């Protein structure tokens, strides 16, 4: 059976990711968000949830390293970065990044965060995590929303004016979650990156400048 144009496009993006050294084409989703909303501006302390296979960690490291030189001024600046990735799946090591294998919705995960970041507030929280889809779009969307609420609770680790990005599925309760995000961030935007599968109902919510 001939491949669809979507399959060909996905294969092309995959090949581009490998050529540029990224572990997966999902790196381009994060780069699309960065290009639109500049979420990595003055970012040094980053938490990445649902990290496997690690392409978002690679992008995060890339910007964190450049920020040390780029923002060496009298404003908020650090002479180092700290990045933590967490997933229940095995994740190959990435130099200078802390990788934790556990369920980030477990209460004990907060201990990992506190220990690694020395209880300092984070600049950015990323989440590309997804539930294991059953094929029932209604139950899958409900389960993903529940996961998103768990992720949103971790915003307490963000500094004031910190940024937040997570994957969500469009459908029932999406608007309610969007409104919840607006309670906690000065600016909330939604984006379907160009590199996302057009047939997928995934979309990304970006929370800019945490309020409190």
Give the Cα separation of 178 and 181 in Å (integer). Answer: 5
In the numeric block, the tokens 């392409």 are attached to: 55
Give the Cα separation of 151 and 50 in Å (integer). Answer: 10
Active site residues: 167
β-partners of residue 206 are: 165, 189
Q: Which pair of structure tokens corresponds to residue 145?
A: 């929303």
**Inter-CA distances, 176 with 138, 144, 146, 179, 207, Å:** 16, 13, 12, 5, 15
Give the Cα separation of 24 and 194 in Å (integer). Answer: 15
Give the Cα separation of 15 and 23 in Å (integer). Answer: 10
């Amino acid at each position: 059976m001939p491949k669809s144009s979507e399959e060909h496009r996905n294969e092309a993006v995959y090949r581009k990711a490998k050529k540029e050294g990224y572990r997966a084409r999902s790196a381009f989703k994060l780069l699309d968000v960065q290009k639109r909303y500049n979420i990595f501006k003055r970012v040094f302390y980053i938490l990445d949830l649902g990290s496997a296979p690690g392409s978002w960690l690679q992008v995060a490291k890339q910007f964190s390293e450049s920020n040390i030189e780029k923002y060496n001024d009298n404003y908020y600046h650090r002479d180092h970065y700290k990045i933590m990735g967490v997933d229940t799946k095995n994740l190959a090591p990435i130099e200078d990044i802390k990788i934790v294998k556990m369920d980030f919705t477990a209460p004990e995960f907060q201990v990992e965060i506190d220990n690694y970041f020395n209880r300092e507030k984070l600049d950015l929280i990323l989440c590309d995590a997804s539930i294991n889809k059953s094929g029932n779009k209604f139950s899958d969307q409900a389960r993903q929303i529940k996961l998103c609420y768990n992720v949103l609770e971790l915003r307490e680790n963000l500094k004031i004016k910190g940024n937040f990005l997570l994957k969500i599925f469009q459908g029932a309760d999406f608007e309610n979650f969007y409104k919840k995000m607006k309670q906690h961030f000065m600016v909330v935007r939604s984006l379907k990156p160009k590199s996302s599968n057009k047939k997928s109902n995934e979309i990304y919510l970006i929370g800019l400048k945490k309020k409190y």
